Structure 1
């Protein structure tokens, strides 16, 4: 009996070691979290490995301990906080115990931060580590937005009063005037590694090689092997001394695509080592991409989806819905969004509040909120048309970075919002069309938001409306 027990223990330990080191290997070699549509098999392997370790530890001795004993183990450092899910085999219990340990260590309460009512297993190995609860952000609906002949109800998650009401008014004005029209100008995610050579001459040699049109087909073939959906579109380089920044641009299907392009880039760099063995890869991202930072390269070249959206607002609608007039809007747009932004040295900020709408839609639909930085690059234009009676308004947004699969889009609430828009998941008939449609909706919502806020400012209503909708009685 003793020998049998020893054998079972030994086999169990071996299984754990294989799972643990296999999981570690996955996290070190596949260091881009699999959020992409074409990465489903890799993501499934990574997630299943995490879950395998999680399931194995259901028999962990710590699991049989009471909550107080586990809390003391975490507080003392005996049990790492990050290992609670695998040690306890219960994601909800892990979050609750971690939360209590945090409160004990900090000497402060997390009362008010909800912990119940959330599926913690849904984020295991995917979205958030060391969970202690979740933040509630109210979601409202603006619309219907009439865009290219289709009606969309736009979900927006925000804590700013007036934002939904204002965007909704803009949607109403656009609808009453016949709707908005959107055009996708470009669709390509970027990644730009930085490599170093012994001399600037060698860095230039690689620049000339990868930018030579005759070499593109070969490099594209190597790049495209990394994915069913990634298709290399272009490669552009910039040199700083003996350092070379290589900006790859590729289509990414319905995924936002950061991971997809990163894997393709890695494949190309490995291929180039045959002819450039002296190439030293400093970083897979050298900030020439550029991600989550304001950058002129995105403003000029675009990143993700580049969209322009326009509408002609009838004079009567400007008067009755927007409570102002065409001439005032045109003048305000020139002096505020164009001249004022230029005076401030704005980079991609030639608008009234595009980031407000982008952030709210991103939070509601599971996008990466940090990409609001470049996704909110926008220039708003207004012009009197039809003998000066009507208003032509447009927003041009070169860097809308969205996806309908992977990352936060998989969570129940965000998935529901994508479903409301009719763009949930991957489009099986036309790869990438769901993500492109989402980008168009974002631009149309920005158009509505710009139109309404500018009208409120032109009519002198801004302070009054915010005092009405953006302040509770407790603040007065």
Structure 2
């Protein structure tokens, strides 16, 4: 192997017509060590996404505990151009996660195969059982109760009186001006309402807006900044503390999301005959109703839960989010759910509903553009923007999420009522010992065309 050329010569070559592409990996590493190439800038310097990942792995291997050079973390057969500048930085590979399906599942008279990405054995099998019971009973019905993403900046005023003046202006004559400033920043973002709160001299302004088929945080942040600039002209003694003052609230438990909603507010309902409860779910209607009250309602209240009046909504939300390219951290508020069960006609059937006030999803932007995640959105018929009805794809996805949560709730509650939970997990989670050393990774899920 030839020795690396001197740094000065490498720098001269890099600045020439060929750029860093004409250098060896060892020479590129030397330039990074010398501060001539930033580690995060390898893709741009080399013009080869996969090679940039390989060189970065060489750099990282020097400071990792394990032998990263021979790591089973895959590198090849992935289209990193979909990632660069959009989804991830300092990329050193990609992580394959198994994807299973729940279905056929009848939701609003349509039949779906719902993709879920998870490493928790039994989760998809259980959710599929719930979907089977619901479909045999006639299927799930869903409704959209609200649609509005939020951003809650915080500003400071020199006195309490001035803070109150800001609140009064925003809730009165100023609203139309703020709306005009906000709506002018996007084709899709439209201000729906403002909720203003004062804490001393601090003013918190919760913008609620439509965002088309995008989840919309970047879109709404841009509109919020424009609105704050206008507000500053009206109140020149105002100081903008932050475009997000945690009054949104994003990626944190918050009663305001549970009460006011955030993203898509959706609900799902199904009526399952007692005969199907017995044959498919192996339990009784009365036992399910009693368990739901004791566990999901009283138990959650005893724990002081906010939005956690359910058995395991977060399990299903996270798995669908991972499969469809959503922001998994927004599972925090998106999993807010209350599950209610009711015996109908003297126990002849069971009504189950799940109400979820803040499901935050999009079908354009972010991880939805990655090929594998886009393929999962295609399975549901909601990939990309809906041209005829902007926002309808994202709304449909939220309704599918809610219906799938309901299937998972029904099955888990049935397993608990019948005393089958531990046994089923032993079957699905203990199917065989994993090999001590993973086999060579197979071709990845994002294949270059």
Q: Same fold (TM over 0.5)?
A: yes
Q: Which runs of 5+ in 2 are unaligned?
A: 1-11, 436-449
Partner of 1:187: 147
Task: Identify which of 34, 42, 47 aligns with 1:84.
Answer: 42
Cα distance in 2 for partners of 1:107, 1:374 equals 35
Which residue does 2:195 correspond to in 1? Answer: 236
Match of 1:313 among 254, 265, 272: 272
**Within the alignment, does 1:171 sit opposite 2:131 as a pair?**
yes
Instruction: Establish whether residue 116 from structure 1 lines up as the match of residue 79 from structure 2.
Output: no
2:245 to 274, 278, 286: 286
Match of 2:445 in 1: none
Spell out, residue by residue over 1:10-46, the C-alpha distance to the aligned partner (whole angstroms, 9 max, x if none). xxx9xxxxxxxxxxxxxxxxxxxxxxxxxxxxxxxxx
Correspondences of 1:302-451 after superposition (within 5 Å): 302-451=261-410
For structure 1, the 5+ residue unaligned runs are: 1-12, 14-55
User: Could you tell me whether the CA contact under 8 Å between 2:169 and 2:175 is conserved in 1?
Assistant: no
Aligned to 2:55: 97
* TM-score w.r.t. length of structure 2: 0.91
**For each residue in 1:426-474, what CA deviation from the matched residue of structure 2 results, as whole angstroms up to 9, or x when unmatched?**
0000010000000000000000000000000100000000000012422
TM superposition shift of 1:64: 1.5
**Equivalent residue for 1:4?**
none
Pairing 1:216-231 to 2, within 5 Å after superposition: 216-231=175-190
Distance 1:453 1:427 in 2: 34
Cα distance between partner residues in 2 of 1:77 and 1:324: 66
Change (3 A) 1:352 1:58: farther
Describe the SS at the equivalent of 2:341: strand
Is 1:106 equivalent to 2:81 in the alignment? no
| Count of matched residue positions in the alignment of Structure 1 and Structure 2 | 421
Shift of 1:86: 1.4
Distance 2:290 2:224 in 1: 46
TM-score normalised by structure 1 residue count:
0.86
Q: Does the 8 A contact of 1:423 with 1:437 survive in 2?
A: yes
Per the alignment, residue 218 of structure 2 pairs with 259
Please report how far the alpha carbon of residue 475 of structure 1 lies from its aligned counterpart in structure 2 after TM superposition. Answer: 7.2
Is structure 2 residue 427 aligned with structure 1 residue 473?
no
Which of these residues, 111, 116, 123, is aligned with residue 156 of structure 1? 116
1:21: which partner in 2?
A: none
Structure number having the greater helix percentage: 1
Q: What's the CA shift for 1:262?
A: 1.1
Change (3 A) 1:222 1:78: closer
- Structural RMSD (CA): 1.7
